[in-house]
Structure 1
Amino acid sequence: MHLDITCTLRRTRIITNPKADADPVASYKELNSVDTGPISRSKRRSAPEASWNPGLYPVEILGETVDGYVRVHFTGWSKKYDQVMKEDELEEIQVNKDPLKDLGILLKENLTVGTKIDSFVRLRVPLIQDDFQRLAECAVIVKSTRTKTTYTISSRHMLKGVFGNNWDFRILNKEGDNCYIKTSTLKFYLRKRRALREYEIQTTDSGQYQLKSCEKEKGTQLVISFVKCAGNHRMLPHLANDALL
């Protein structure tokens, strides 16, 4: 018969006297009687003061107060720097951001490889009809139904004008390992997102509360899917020149 026995070894420990020229002591009781000298404590570093340079800082409005004041949070800063400011001190700036450029970056971010990473990718991105039309004009219709029209591409070069060069592959390291989109598998379409349904509280003339159903539109959404493949340095000439991958 085999027995698993776990043993705990008890080792003798000595307590070192904090004074370098003193002998070790045998117990905590003896240590209490030893003059250890002054004890130095490390000082916690205080947080540096914020350095505010002249210019514009992006902020998020957390809520309104009275008399035209709002509470703001400075984007990227700790909440301890939140301030209450006059609303007229804030300047609203329209940022001309191209959602298709962001989509191109998102495609690149999903070009990764690994043993546990699925080769099939499906992305859902909020996109308005006008921006989708720019994308659709560079593609061809592969299927059309009552609810959606699906597009594809017959050449990698068809989407260069939207996403730029090298939009469909990513070189992962200096050895030339890469990940790319298999051209024939790329498909996309625009769908209307299902409205958010909820109930609002309303007060009747008699002071009673009642619930009324309402819907909030969530806009349209681009659905784009493709199969990604892994390659090595031998694939580089094809990535640079071929119309199809």
Structure 2
Amino acid sequence: MYIVLLGSPGSGKGTQAKIISNQYNIPHISAGDLLRFIVYKNKEKYKDINNIMKKGQLVNNSLIISMVVRRLLKSDCCNGFILDGFPRSINQAIFFKKYFGSSIYLVLELLTLNEIIFDRVKGRLIHPISGRIYNTKFFPPINKGIDDFTGEKLIRRNDDNEETLLKRLMLYYKNNILLSSFYNRQNLSGRIIYYRIYGNGNVYDINKILKSIINSYL
């Protein structure tokens, strides 16, 4: 099962990807989590990347592509994966399609209203090591500010503020026009399966829709 999960910042794709990963026993690969992890482990070495992310800008293509490809070539991805937050541009999508060929066949895109996105991001909490996502309003941890599995402290991302989010959304929508068009053409030609799903509801209702689509192609 090879899945690409698309969606704007705050659309809920990270939360859904983690749930799907557990449901189908496939690894969840998040480009954003990979970046945040290396920055978290070595802030001084990767301070330039950290500054780019804080400003809501995209890190250069070559770094993202090489990082994602290295992760996907690991043995746990042999039987499938769910890819979250990549590709984010038409150039990344074209490269990825050429590199993996027909392996990537199910592309799911979450469409979420901006007002809901801002509401979600304001309450988002992250476990920095695992990338687990919580929300103080929609998906809170059992104990306030504490990861359910490790008992470690949760943090807020540096880019989870309204100014940065607005920049990230504008950049996303600009790139997504071409990206959606690319995947729509691929879908019409029978090369992939592409669905656009409204992501405005609660976590569990959205997951039911995604799971129903995935199950229909197993």
**Same-fold status (TM-score > 0.5):** no
TM-score bracket, shorter-length normalisation: under 0.3
Q: Which has the higher helix share?
A: 2
Q: Which has the higher strand share?
A: 1
* TM-score, normalised by the number of residues in structure 2: 0.22
Larger radius of gyration: 1
* TM-score, normalised by the number of residues in structure 1: 0.21
Query: Does 1 or 2 have the higher relative contact order (CA < 8 Å, sep 6+)?
Result: 2
